[in-house]
Amino acid sequence: MVIKATVASDDLPQVKLHKQRSYRLINSKYPPVSVFDDVANADEFVVLYELQALTNPRLQAQAGNLSLLPRSNIPFGITGCSYAVAPFTHVNPAGSRFSDGRFGVLYLADSVQTAISEVAYHQGQYWSRVPGLAYERFVFKALSCEFSEVSLTDLTYLPLQHGVYHSKDYSAARALGISLREQHGAGVQYYSVRNNAALCWGLFSPQYVTQMVQSAHYEMIWQSGRINAINKIVSCV
């Protein structure tokens, strides 16, 4: 039975995290935008962005909608800054579990396997709606991320039957995410819906990320109407 009652953000405890290791999977067709990694502060970014825009007409599309993210929230100078920033400048208008599509969320998992489970579910849902797709291969980058010195709203105190954990209906989770963000909350800690007992995090800003590096590649094979194989194909050293 799903508990549909809403939850007041003030009723939820906070969890303080220090140097938390986490993981994320992204499609390999999206290369990092180096302009975020080539500078040390916001002033340098503005100058470099304007210079590159003169010779790269695709820069704005690659960097995303910069108006969605205050410059003060960009962790300039860290390894993998572009990976940390991307979810906030390339926002899915269809939304996600804790967003209605008006703002980005950086979703992270406690292990590569949890990240794979989350992505595989959503990929399966998406490609199942493509008529006539008999076979396809998709390649993903696994990113190892560290974030630190942040207090998140801890949703692990809620029962798994609560609406924020509904497998398909995100209305309760989105309402909570919007409320927390409006109150300047940093994000949420919650249980994975796709990997039993695993932890996930949703950060409302990239400013807490201290490092994000590529660790491996994985392929997902779509066949017979579903993703029927997931393989690790490359390790990066």
Is the per-residue pLDDT at 161 higher than 70?
A: yes
**Averaged pLDDT, 192-212:** 97
Share of the chain above pLDDT 70, in %: 94
Mean model confidence pLDDT for the chain: 92
Half-sphere exposure of 8 (CA within 13 A, CB side): 2
Is the per-residue pLDDT at 7 higher than 70?
A: no
How much is the pLDDT for 60? 86
Helices (H) and strands (E) in the chain, counts: 5, 9
**Spatial CA neighbour of 187 closest among 92, 91, 98:** 98
| Total Cβ atoms within 10 A of residue 157 | 14
User: Measured between alpha carbons, how far is 108 from 25 in angstroms, rounded to an integer?
Assistant: 9
Residue 76 has φ and ψ, to the nearest 5°, of -55, 140
Cut 0.85: pTM above it: yes
Q: Are 35 and 46 in contact (CB under 8 A)?
A: no
Backbone region of residue 83 per phi and psi (left: phi > 0; alpha: psi in -120 to 50; beta: other values): alpha
Residue 166 CA to chain centroid, in angstroms?
18
Q: What is the pLDDT of residues 71-95, one digit of tens each?
A: 999 999 999 999 999 999 999 999 9
The tokens describing 209, both together, are: 């990320």
Between the CA of residue 30 and those of 22, 161, 163, 199, what are the distances in Å?
Answer: 20, 35, 32, 26
Strand 150-154 vs strand 187-191: parallel, antiparallel, or unpaired? parallel
How much is the pLDDT for 4? 54
Q: What is the pLDDT of residues 18-57, one digit of tens each?
A: 999 999 999 988 776 788 999 999 999 999 999 998 888 8
Q: How confident is the model at residue 109 (pLDDT cuts 50, 70, 90)?
A: very high
